[in-house]
Amino acid sequence: MASLTGKTLFITGASRGIGRAIALKAAADGANVAIASKTSDPHPKLVGTIHSVAREIEEAGGRALALEVDVREETEIAAAVAKAAEAFGGIDILINNASALFLARTPDTPMKRFDLMHQVNVRGTFATTQACHPHLKQAANPHVLVLSPPLTLEPDWFADHCAYTMSKYGMSMCVLGMAREFAADGIGVNALWPSTMIETAATKAMGVPQAGCRKTDIMADAAYAILTRDARACTGNFFIDQAVLEQEGITDFEPYAVVPGTPLERDLFVA
């Protein structure tokens, strides 16, 4: 069975939530994980730092490198990627997980929030992939996984949070273009999105109802299944977490917890 033993993962936004869950899943195989996130010091409202996750990775059996990085700054990205490659002898996998969230209709979206989402979500994904590309080209089974949705141009996905959806679709457009662009390099580029809302610090901070949310484990399990596939044969896909596990014959994942009056992912478009 394929595993992530000895592989090096560079994960943005890994100090909490889905990024942390993927990091710990890989660490259980003995993987090397570069935690590229802004939170170096404890946050008053959000649990987790690059250092706390580094300790968890090492306790789980992996090797960790804590890197304080703002993905809006390409110089910080470049420096972090260079440190990770030097520390672990290369980079095999990039997880573009870092994302800014602000759910509001157009009249209620301050332009600073619009700018933040596009700088972190779209620009950060593009810049980090660009910086990792030379190292991924040298890897045996290189993958780029982006936490973004399928490109379905339906007005309902945009109507209540146009700015946020535009930024997430920008990440998905990176997948669409880079999968074709990097095919000759043997780099698999795919997207992963939840079938229903995932409980994270970001959704809690935004006041999104947590009833009916799934835990981050299902996303980590789905990511693991994708990242252990042949990158040349697995690229350009827009995966949904539950569908990935069902393809793998895994059926013991957390079921939907449908609570009347609360939104599911298909209704709210949040991860």
- Residues marked active site are found at 164
In the three-class reduction of DSSP (H, G, I as helix; E, B as strand; rest coil), residue 254 is classed as coil
Q: How many whole angstroms separate alpha carbon 93 and alpha carbon 7?
A: 8
In the three-class reduction of DSSP (H, G, I as helix; E, B as strand; rest coil), residue 12 is classed as strand
Q: Report yes or no: 248 and 224 within 8 Å, Cβ to Cβ.
A: no
Q: Which residue carries 């993927």 as its tokens?
A: 22
Nearest 5°: the CA angle 131, 146, 233 is: 95
Tokens for 22?
């993927």
In angstroms, the Cα distances linking 175 to 38, 149, 197 are 24, 10, 22
Enclosing H/E stretch for 64? strand 63-68
**Torsions phi, psi for 75 (to 5 deg):** -70, -35
Of 218, 57, 219, 235, nearest in space to 141 by CA: 235
